[in-house]
Amino acid sequence: MNTTARWPEYSFGHGGPVPTLTDRVNALSVLGFEPVPDAAWQWTEDSETPFDPSSPVLLIAAIRVRSRAEVGA
């Protein structure tokens, strides 16, 4: 927040099954983060092509995280 820096992203690919909790936590680990204790996942839908009702849906998951470097310090 309050930055122009790009947020880290991880893509599970198109057309596959919804990533499991383990898949999501592993992806966060690859990015150098882990969920904050007691944090809950939030889900948002978007479309691949804005304003096109026939566009494939993109499922975006978010959770509060902390840097794994901070935990080890």
pLDDT at 59: 80
Residue 48's nearest CA partner among 36, 59, 57, 39 is 57
Query: What one-letter code names the amino acid at 29?
Result: S
pTM > 0.85: yes or no: no
CA distance to 2, 49, 58, 63, per residue, from 43 (Å): 22, 19, 10, 9
| pLDDT tens digits, one per residue of 41-52 | 999 998 889 899
Q: Count the alpha carbons within 13 Å of 67 in the hemisphere toward its beta carbon.
A: 5
